[in-house]
Amino acid sequence: MKPSRWRWVRAVLAALAGLAVLALLVWLVARNRTEDPRALLLLAALAALGGVVLTIWLVWRIAGPQVRVRHPHLWLLFAALAGVTLTALLAQLLIGPVVGTLPGEQVFLRAYLGMLAAVLSLAAGFALIGALSAPALPLAELGVPPRAVPYRLGVTLAVVGGLLVIPALLILVGAAVSREGVVGPLLPGGLLGAVAALYGLTAGGLLGLLTLRVGQVWRPALAGLVGAGLGGAACGLVFGLFGSPDLIRGGWGFLLLAALFVAAIHLAWGLGVRAALNRLLALGRRSGGRAVPVQAASRAQVNVVATLALLLLGGAAGPLRTLGDFLTTRRVNDDPPRAVRPLEAPACTEPQDPLERAVWRVTTRDGRPDLSCRHTVYPLLRIAEPSLPGLPGEPLEPPSPAAASGFDHVAGLVLTARREVLFTTMSWDEGPDSPGATLAHALARLYARVKANPAAYPDGLSVRLTLGNYPVVSILAWGAEVWDALHDLRAAGVPLSDPAHGWRVQLGNYAGTFPHSHAKLLVVDGQLLMAAGFNYDDQHYPTSHPSGRGIGLYDLALVVRGPAAQNGVGAFEDLWTRSKVVECPETPQAGRPHGGCRLGALGQHDPLPAARRALPQGGSRVFSLYRREGFTEADQAVAALLDTAQQEVMLLHIDFSMNVGCIIALLNPGLCTDHDRLPWMTALLGALERGVTVRLMTKSEGVEGIENRIALAYLQREMRRRGIPASRFEARGFPQPLHAKVTLVDRRMLVVGSMNLHYSSWTQGPLGLAEYDLATSDPARTREFRQLYDGFWAQAEAVTLPPFLTEVGAGQP
Q: Residues 59, 17: contact at Cβ < 8 Å? A: no
What is the pLDDT, as a whole number, of residue 150?
86
DSSP 387: P
Report phi then psi at 754, rounded to 5: -100, -5
Helix, strand, coil proportions of the chain in percent (round to 5)? 55, 15, 35
What integer is the mean pLDDT of 658-687? 87
Q: Which residues contact 57 (CB under 8 A, 6 or more apart)?
A: 18
Task: Write the burial class of residue 242 (CB in 10 Å: 0-12 exposed, 13-18 middle, 19+ buried).
Answer: exposed
- The pTM of the full predicted model, rounded to 2 decimals, is 0.85
Domains in the chain (CATH in brackets) are: 3-321 (no CATH), 374-620 (3.30.870.10), 626-806 (3.30.870.10)
Q: For 387-438, write each residue's pLDDT tens digit.
A: 889 999 888 888 888 889 999 999 999 999 999 999 999 999 999 999 999 9
Dihedral, 475, 478, 481, 487 alpha carbons, nearest 10: -90
Q: For 546-600, write each residue's pLDDT tens digit.
A: 999 999 999 999 999 999 999 999 999 999 999 999 999 877 666 676 888 999 9
Average pLDDT of the chain to the nearest whole number: 87
Checking if the pLDDT of 809 tops 50, the result is no
What integer is the mean pLDDT of 478-495? 94
What is the pLDDT, as a whole number, of residue 47?
80
Q: In angstroms, what CA-CA distances link 537 with 256, 380, 434, 734?
A: 46, 19, 8, 20
Q: Residues 557, 387: contact at Cβ < 8 Å? A: no
What is the pLDDT, as a whole number, of residue 712?
94
According to DSSP H, which parts of 620-689 are helical? 633-644, 679-689
b/e string for 694-720 if b means 16 or more Cβ within 10 A?
A: bbbbbbbeeebbbbbbbbbbbbbbebe
Dihedral, 728, 729, 730, 734 alpha carbons, nearest 10: 130
Checking if the pLDDT of 776 tops 90, the result is yes
Three-point CA angle 218, 223, 225, nearest 5°: 95
What is the pLDDT, as a whole number, of residue 181?
45
What integer is the mean pLDDT of 751-780? 96
Checking if the pLDDT of 65 tops 50, the result is no
According to DSSP H, which parts of 457-526 are helical? 481-491
Number of neighbours of residue 723 by Cβ within 10 angstroms = 7
Q: For 235-268, write each residue's pLDDT tens digit.
A: 877 766 665 555 555 555 566 777 888 888 999 9
Q: For 203-242, write each residue's pLDDT tens digit.
A: 999 999 999 988 899 999 999 999 999 988 888 777 666 6
Q: Residues 59, 133: contact at Cβ < 8 Å? A: no
Nearest to 89 by CA among 116, 60, 115, 124: 124
Q: Return the amino acid letter for 355.
A: L
What is the pLDDT, as a whole number, of residue 6?
60
Q: In angstroms, what CA-CA distances link 465 with 113, 422, 520, 626, 694?
A: 36, 6, 11, 18, 38
The Cα 670–Cα 682 span in angstroms is 18
What is the pLDDT, as a whole number, of residue 568?
97
Q: Which residues contact 178 (CB under 8 A, 6 or more apart)?
A: 186
Sign of CA dihedral 736, 742, 746, 747: negative
Checking if the pLDDT of 64 tops 60, the result is no
Q: For 145-189, write each residue's pLDDT tens digit.
A: 888 888 899 899 999 988 876 666 656 555 554 544 444 444 444
Q: In angstroms, what CA-CA distances link 481 with 295, 399, 426, 467, 535?
A: 55, 25, 9, 8, 12
Grade residue 811 by pLDDT with cuts at 50, 70 and 90. very low
The Cα 107–Cα 702 span in angstroms is 24
Grade residue 4 by pLDDT with cuts at 50, 70 and 90. low
What is the pLDDT, as a whole number, of residue 1?
46
What is the pLDDT, as a whole number, of residue 34?
62
Nearest to 554 by CA among 409, 429, 385: 385
Q: Which residues contact 404 (CB under 8 A, 6 or more apart)?
A: 386, 395, 398
b/e string for 328-358 if b means 16 or more Cβ within 10 A?
A: bbbbbeeeebeebebeebbebeebeeebbeb
What is the pLDDT, as a whole number, of residue 177?
47
Q: Residues 681, 722: contact at Cβ < 8 Å? A: no
Q: In angstroms, what CA-CA distances link 530 with 133, 470, 630, 782?
A: 67, 21, 24, 16
Mean pLDDT is highest, among 52-66, 701-715, 720-734, for 720-734
